[in-house]
Structure 1
Amino acid sequence: MSQALETGYVAVDGGELYYEAVGSGLPLVFIHAGVADLRMWDAQVAHFSPNYRVIRYDTRGFGRSKTEAVSFSNRQDLLAVLDHCKVDQAVLIGNSRGGSIAIDSALSFPERVNGLVVLGSGLGGFGSEELPPELVEPIGKMQAAQEAKDWALLAELEARFWADGPNQPAGRADSAVYEAVRSMTYENLINQPIEAQAQPLEPPAVGRLAEIKVPMLILIGLLDESDCVDAAKYLAEHVVNAQYVAFPDVAHMVSLEKPQEFNRIMGEFIERSLL
């Protein structure tokens, strides 16, 4: 018997956030990467919704969410989704910037978060300002495409970088993974012309990891760009209750490249640490 899917919009200052919720039980809230939208979690919704309440949403400026040119907080936006869905506590699952949003939110309102799962995650305040030498060329090409407003080329370059991995041969990742990232990125570029300004967490998360007391699962593909790989190791070393899992043959989009393995590892983590 299929479960009823709840969809709608959450009103936030200067915008509205599209969300979907299905299932019942322990709430799991999925936060997408910056080269995606909530559709990147399709395999996880199908896998976890029979046993958990699965919530996902398009962050401001992505997917079907809408925004005005305002200053805003991704953390407050997430809190608005939790409140709208009447969720007191949730496990937050985030990829890339979604991981950074999850970590920042756990630091901002720890009473609402009972677990963290991050994949190829950003970490506020971590890393140097200078690009590693191996990233100068690919990042330069992406910046040139953006300045030229060549959105099709930019989406292709982003997908090659994040799906295949920096300096990996084109086509390393499965074509379906590449196409998913390319198409979601392209749609975001052409459908979200208004740029709102996200407010960073102050002080940043990198110096506050001792405040994280909930169980945390850290996943990283070792073909990801070096800042993400280093951030994952740093998180594992500085968060008390953390589990670290590395995939040697995966880049940035762990849950898209290895959905079954990711679902198994995350499911075991939840059962062991949170139930």
Structure 2
Amino acid sequence: MSNGYADLGNGKVYYEIEGKGETLVLIHAGFVDSGMWDGQWQALTRYWRVLRFDMRGFGKSDPSTGPVSRRHDLYRLLKELGIGNAHLLGCSIGGETAIDFTLEHPEMVLSLTVVSGIPGGFEMRGEPPSEILEMLQALEEGDLDRVNDLQVRLWVDGPFRQPEDVSQSVRQHAAEMNRTAVRNGTWAIADASPLNPPNPPAAVRLAEINIPVLIIAGSLDNPELLRAADFLADGINGAKKVIMPDSAHVPNMEKPEEFNKIVLDFLNRA
């Protein structure tokens, strides 16, 4: 395995690469870091040259000092590492990033896998989860432990389970990763008002994607995330959709063996 830091000009990003063959890029969710792919690493690097990295503000990468463009950071990283094209697999904000990157640089993307992702411009319906409002209040009060706990409840547990219903090791791992992002204030600084969002947004451009696409969602995630999965599958010609049972926003962490099989089957066909 090779690892190091890539200087993107506005901060250094930590990355790891292992394996041979075509490149597969793993893009993590917005409350964890590249460690969310620990359960996939050995299975995927057996067949692919896999790159995973910590986005700015997460994990071992530099903190964000202002709004960022995640798709532009991904482009700079791939150019810095000399990667001309790759398969993309992103979760949550990582999935949104992968979609935006695919639309902006279609010649660089061999296939696209979106996990628990929402395309830019997709309008959520109904009231936001109660945890969102509680998190904003906890942020104002500087109660970072409370923010971290609410993030885990929102994304790992989901709206239909209590903490005791979920693997404690998964919850603990997510909380450890999220602690860095909470301490860095990453969401408020970097992602609440992202830099140069695509215009028009991805939600109205999905028909332009003409590569193999896999959409994955957890059955116990917020229903609006499942509606987003339907929206993506309906909007992208030939896209395959898989709903993983008994999991929420990070199904790869909860059910790694099942997730790995789904992804490997798709990539082998792609």
TM over 0.5: yes
Alignment of 1:100-249 (within 5 A): 100-128=96-124, 131-132=127-128, 135=129, 137-191=130-184, 195-196=189-190, 198-199=194-195, 200-249=197-246
Using the TM superposition, give the Cα deviation of residue 182 of structure 1 relative to its aligned residue in structure 2, in angstroms: 1.2
Please name the residue that 1:75 is paired with: 71
**Distance of 1:142 and 1:67 partners within structure 2:** 20
**Residues 137-188 of structure 1 deviation map (CA, whole Å, 9 limit, x = unaligned):** 2222222111111111111111111111124222222111111111111122
**Distance of 2:164 and 2:213 partners within structure 1:** 32
Where do 5+ consecutive residues of structure 2 fail to align? none
**Distance of 1:169 and 1:44 partners within structure 2:** 26
Matched residue of 1:159: which SS?
Answer: helix
Match of 1:250 among 247, 250, 260: 247
Matched residue of 2:110: which SS?
Answer: strand
Cα separation, partners in 2 of 1:195 and 1:111, compared to 1, 3 Å:
same
**Residues 75-130 of structure 1 deviation map (CA, whole Å, 9 limit, x = unaligned):** 11101121122211101101100000000000010100010111111210002375
Please name the residue that 2:52 is paired with: 56
Using the TM superposition, give the Cα deviation of residue 191 of structure 1 relative to its aligned residue in structure 2, in angstroms: 4.3
**Distance of 1:177 and 1:127 partners within structure 2:** 30
Alignment of 1:255-270 (within 5 A): 255-270=252-267
The aligned amino acid for 2:227 is D
Residues 13 and 72, structure 1, Cα contact 8 Å, conserved in 2: no
Name the stretch that deviates more: 193-202 or 38-47: 193-202
Matched residue of 1:55: which SS?
Answer: strand
Matched residue of 1:118: which SS?
Answer: strand
Using the TM superposition, give the Cα deviation of residue 71 of structure 1 relative to its aligned residue in structure 2, in angstroms: 4.1
**Residues 45-85 of structure 1 deviation map (CA, whole Å, 9 limit, x = unaligned):** 11111221000011121111114524432111101121122
**Residues 191-245 of structure 1 deviation map (CA, whole Å, 9 limit, x = unaligned):** 4579246322211100000010110110001211122111101001110121100
Q: In the alignment, is residue 65 of structure 1 matched against residue 61 of structure 2?
A: yes
Residues 37 and 184, structure 1, Cα contact 8 Å, conserved in 2: yes
The aligned amino acid for 1:266 is V
**Distance of 2:184 and 2:67 partners within structure 1:** 19
Residues 60 and 66, structure 1, Cα contact 8 Å, conserved in 2: yes
Match of 1:92 among 88, 91, 94: 88
Alpha carbon RMSD of aligned pairs, Å? Answer: 1.7
Residues 34 and 98, structure 1, Cα contact 8 Å, conserved in 2: yes
**Distance of 1:122 and 1:24 partners within structure 2:** 31
Structure 1's consecutive aligned runs of 4 or more residues displaced over 6 angstroms after TM superposition are none
Name the stretch that deviates more: 194-203 or 86-95: 194-203
The aligned amino acid for 2:171 is Y
**Residues 6-35 of structure 1 deviation map (CA, whole Å, 9 limit, x = unaligned):** 111111232111111111101000000011
TM-score (norm 1): 0.92
Matched residue of 1:79: which SS?
Answer: helix
TM-score (norm 2): 0.93
Matched residue of 2:216: which SS?
Answer: strand
Q: Aligned residue pairs: how many? A: 266
**Distance of 1:128 and 1:37 partners within structure 2:** 25
